[in-house]
A and B are shown apart, each in its own frame.
Chain A
Amino acid sequence: GAVVSQHPSRVICKSGTSVKIECRSLDFQATTMFWYRQFPKKSLMLMATSNEGSKATYEQGVEKDKFLINHASLTLSTLTVTSAHPEDSSFYICSAINSERGLNTEAFFGQGTRLTVV
């Protein structure tokens, strides 16, 4: 089956630093990936759509300068949380679509990254 890998699975960083989270499709090419965020004891909310070779599109209310997304290859999207603050502490998860499977497919989710900002 299709595998999406996120790295790291957990990260702790100091306030003011930036953190990069990677999302890789291991056995398929993905021109489109998605980033979600889960607040404590809440559901997951879509943050942005990551498009290979072009700018990401962000959902309403998501700061694009805060959450930088780069989709430089067909198998890798990165989310960088810039100048992180404790309120950015959250669970971040990505999903990817197999570009070669046409319209009748589904997105595959990574296992997520737990970010804690201290």
Chain B
Amino acid sequence: SQQGEEDPQALSIQEGENATMNCSYKTSINNLQWYRQNSGRGLVHLILIRSNEREKHSGRLRVTLDTSKKSSSLLITASRAADTASYFCATDKGTYKYIFGTGTRLKVLA
């Protein structure tokens, strides 16, 4: 399989807590993107991180990238009920053919 792997597959937390999702991939990459997908809806782009970057922030989101371990993490701080969604990582090794991870289903309880 060429799919990336994300863990956990499902995560349930209380509002206000932090949520961490991990993504591992198999080949060297050019960039990695994180997306959110609400149930039955389209993809929402969150953050892009390039292979020469180690960390990026956007609001309550923090993404790290460890190319030596072929892994990335997405941290959502101070989670809200509206953060409930599935989160996917997608990697590009320079061909623009993105390989999506299996996704993490996050549930934030109010």
Residues of chain A touching chain B, judged by Cβ–Cβ distance below 8 Å, are 6, 9, 32, 34, 36, 42-46, 49, 91, 93, 95, 97, 103, 106-112, 114
Contact = CB atoms under 8 A, between A and B. Distances in A.
A32 B96 contact: yes
**Chain B contact residues: over half helix, strand or loop, or mixed?**
strand
A36 B98 CA distance: 9
A112 B96 contact: no
Contact of B96 (A6, A9, A34): A34
Contact of A43 (B3, B31, B97): B3
B40 to A, nearest CB: 7
Given A46-B97, A112-B42, A106 B92 contact: yes
Contacts of B98: 34, 36, 44, 46, 95, 107
Contacts of A9: 42
12 contacts: A6-B42, A9-B42, A34-B96, A43-B3, A44-B88, A44-B100, A46-B98, A46-B99, A93-B42, A106-B48, A111-B42, A112-B42
